[in-house]
Chain A
């Protein structure tokens, strides 16, 4: 599956459009990670635990989007966008969406 955040896949032409595909996941952090991040939060800098957590979650959202695209028969998703929203205390929704297409 080819992914691109541009209107097309550079170097290829779009043959067919299959519509919007989406993937999302809502994640919350566990107590251990939260405790360590709380300590790290005192001295500032990168909170690696959270960076990894959000990265894993975003990868899963992309994975779900790709699955949906595959089920429509597409071989690429173009114009991929991300959005993050805090839906509850200490929880966030990671959302990825794009347009499933067939490219050649």
Chain B
């Protein structure tokens, strides 16, 4: 074989292998996370978690407490690479949409689970916040992930 060709292949080989490996791992992790989310969401059906600022008039509140749930989540290397390519032509970044979707659903689930652990019956006034964590590498331009915070007021009700 042409030695130049071997040189090109060995130089491209590592980045390509990294892209392939992170694609497989990232997809498996994402699919697993979605399965886990769906299972927990199904289990929490019937537990009201609402964004209303006030308590519905028919509820009698016994106890109230602040509950929070947060998650730091990041894209895999392959999807970040694709997102950079996508940035050349513009349009919607599907990979980031699913990332934020996963993060928000996870944060809301954690709020509900925290409320349940306290023995609450509902969470009202749920608010969501998103913050980007700057990486200490690449001069702060890299992203170390996105933090999603959900919080609300957990209520114990008289039934």
Contacts and interface: CB of A to CB of B under 8 A. Distances in A.
A34 B70 contact: no
Interface residues of B, number: 50
A44 B133 contact: no
Q: Which of A4, A43, A58, A82 has the most CB of B within 10 A?
A: A43
Contacts of A83: 129
Contacts of A14: none
Contacts of B125: 5-6
Interface stretch (B3-11, B41-49, B57-65): B57-65
Contacts, number: 132
Chain B contact surface mostly: strand
Given A82-B149, A84-B129, A89-B134, A6 B76 contact: no
Contact of A90 (B129, B136, B153): B136
11 contacts: A4-B153, A5-B66, A7-B54, A44-B22, A44-B75, A45-B33, A47-B73, A47-B74, A51-B147, A58-B68, A84-B149
Interface of A: 2-7, 9-12, 29, 34, 37-38, 40-48, 50-51, 54-55, 58, 80, 82-86, 89-90, 92
